[in-house]
Chain A
Amino acid sequence: MSSSRLLFDEPGPRARRRIRIATALTLLGGAVLVALALRQFGENGQLGADRWRPYGTWPMWGYLLEGLRSTLYAAAVSIVLATAAGVALALGRLSPARWLRVPSAAYVEIVRTVPALLLVYIVLFALPKYGLDLPLFWKLVVPLSVSNAAAFAEIFRAGIRSVERGQLEAGLALGLTRGRAMRLVVLPQAARRVLPSLVSQSAGLLKDTSLGYVVSYAELLYSGKVLANYNHLLIQTYLVIALIYLVINASLAKLARTLEARQRTRPSRAVREAAPAARP
C-alpha cells in the first residue's frame, strides 16, 4: 500500500514496541467486543444448539438459496435493462441534437436525486390507480432499472468522453456516419474502459434488489422474512442472509478490482476520475 508509507518510516526499536502494544490493545478490544456480543446472545438464549442447528440442514438452505436465485435473476434482468437504457441516455446526452440532449440530461439529473424506494412505492401504490398493475417481478425490476439507468448513463458518458476525439474523427474521415462511427469505433473502446465501474455498479444494483422486502417479491431478504416468521429464528436467519450477500458482493468487488488492475496497463484515468462511485 502506497499510502501506508506516507505517515511512518521503517519502525525502529521503540516504534516497534509501541506497535506491539497497540496490536495487543486492539486484539484485546476486539476480544472484549466479541465476548460482549456472545454474552448478549447467550443471556437471551440465542446460542443454544437448537437455535442454530436448522442452518446445518438442507431445507433451510434450500429455501434461502431459492431466494438467492430470484435475487440473481432480478439483478440480471435489471442490469441488462439499465445498461441498455444507460447507453441510450449517455449517447443522448452527448448528441449534437438538442431535443435528445435536454431530456436525457433531465432524466439522469432527476432520477439520481430520487430514492429508489420512492420509485418502488410509485410502482406499488400509484400506477395501479391509473390502471397499470405490473406483475410482481416487474414491480421490483422496473423501479430498479429506472433508478440504476441514471447511474449507468453517467458511467458510459464518462467512458465515451474518455475516448480520444481523434478516434471519432478518424471514423468520420473514413466516411462513416456519426452514428456508425460511435457504434463501431468509440463505443467498443468505451465499453472496455468502463467495465470495472459497471461491475461495481452492478454490485450496487444487486444490493438494491433487497427492496424485494418491500415489494413482497421472494428474493433473498424477503425469503428470509418469510422463513423467520415460520421458524422464529430471526437473528440467525438474517445473519445467514447477511453472510450470503457478503460472499457474493465481495466476489463482485474483487472482480472489479481485478479488472481495474488489468486496465492499469492501459491507463484511462479520465474514466476513473469522471465515473461516479458506485451507489449503494
Chain B
Amino acid sequence: MNVITDHLGEFGDGLLLTVELTLLALAGALATGIAVAAMRVSPVRVLRAAGMAYVEVLQNIPLLVWLVIAVFGLPEIGVIAGLFTTSVIVIALYQGAYTAEAIRSGINAVPAGQGEAARALGLTFVQSLRLVVLPQALRTVVQPLGNIAIMTLMNTALAAAVGVVELTAAANRVNLAEAQPIWIFVTAGLAYMALSAVFGLVTGGLERKLAILR
C-alpha cells in the first residue's frame, strides 16, 4: 500500500491531467456536436452532406490513428502545437462526431408541431433551432451525452500512447519504478471508476432536473 502513498504526487498529477483532458474535450465535443447536428438538419444540401461526411470520417477511423496523425504527422507539414493541446483538440473533434449523432436523435425526438409553431411565429431556421428545438433536444439526450462523457474519459487514456502523462501513463510509470503492479493498477482503475460514477451522478441529477413532462 505504501507504493501508492509514496507516489501520490504522480498519481495526483496524472489524475488532474485526465480530468482536464476530459472536461476540455467534452466542452469542445459539445460545441462541435451542436454545430454538426445543426448542419445535418439545415435546408442547405451541401451543409447536410458535409455534416454527414464529418461524422462518417471521424467515427470510422480509430481515435489512436487520429492522435498519431496529429502528434507525429502534423509537424511534417509545419503544423506544430503542444502535445496536450493537440490531444484535447483531436479527442474533442472525435467525440464531437458521436455528440452530433446523439443531438440529432434528440432533434428528431422533438415533436414536429414545435418546429411548425416556431416557423408560424416567423422565426428563421437559426432562431427556431436556437430558441425552440435545441433546448428541447438537449434535454432529451442527457443520458446519451452522459454515456459520451464516460466514453470520452475512457478515450483520454489513449493520449498516453502518444506521450501525454495522464492517469494511465502515470500508473504505468510508477509501475516501472516499483514492482507492485497490483496496487498501482487497481488504484488507477478505481480512480477511473470514481470519475465515471461522478459523471453518472451528474447525468442522473441533470436528467431529473431537466425532464420534460409531456
Contacts and interface: CB of A to CB of B under 8 A. Distances in A.
Interface in A204-222: 207-208, 210-211, 213-214, 221
Contacts of B72: 234, 238
A122 B185 contact: yes
Interface size class on chain B is 35 or more
Interface stretch (B2-10, B24-32, B144-152): B144-152
A5 B76 contact: no
A203 B43 CA distance: 31
Given A6-B107, A15-B43, A246-B60, A125 B128 contact: no
B115 A117 contact: no
Contacts of A116: 154, 157
A176 to B, nearest CB: 37
B60 A221 contact: no
B133 A208 contact: no
Which of A5, A121, A208, A280 has the most B CB atoms < 10 Å from its CB?
A280
A211 B64 contact: yes
Contacts of A241: 65
Nearest to A2: B108
A15 B118 CA distance: 16
Contacts of B112: 5-6
B74 to A, nearest CB: 8
Contacts of B154: 113-116, 279-280
A27 B46 contact: yes
Contact of A19 (B44, B104, B168, B197): B44
A40 B79 contact: yes
Contacts of A110: 189, 193
Contacts of A126: 175, 181-182, 184-185
Interface stretch (A41-49, A59-67, A91-99, A162-170): A41-49
Nearest to A29: B50
A239 B108 contact: no
A265 interface: no
B79 A242 contact: no
Contact of B133 (A7, A43, A121): A7
Given A6-B108, A211-B64, 11 more contacts: A7-B118, A8-B42, A9-B119, A26-B47, A44-B76, A110-B193, A113-B197, A117-B168, A121-B171, A239-B73, A242-B66
Given A40-B78, A280-B151, A4 B171 contact: no
A131 B70 CA distance: 37
Contacts of A118: 157, 168, 171, 185, 188-189, 192
B151 A7 contact: no
A238 B133 CA distance: 40
A84 interface: no
A185 B199 CA distance: 38
12 contacts: A6-B133, A19-B44, A30-B50, A46-B77, A113-B154, A114-B192, A115-B192, A117-B157, A117-B160, A118-B157, A118-B171, A279-B154
Contact of B158 (A27, A117, A203, A225): A117
B165 to A, nearest CB: 13
B63 interface: yes
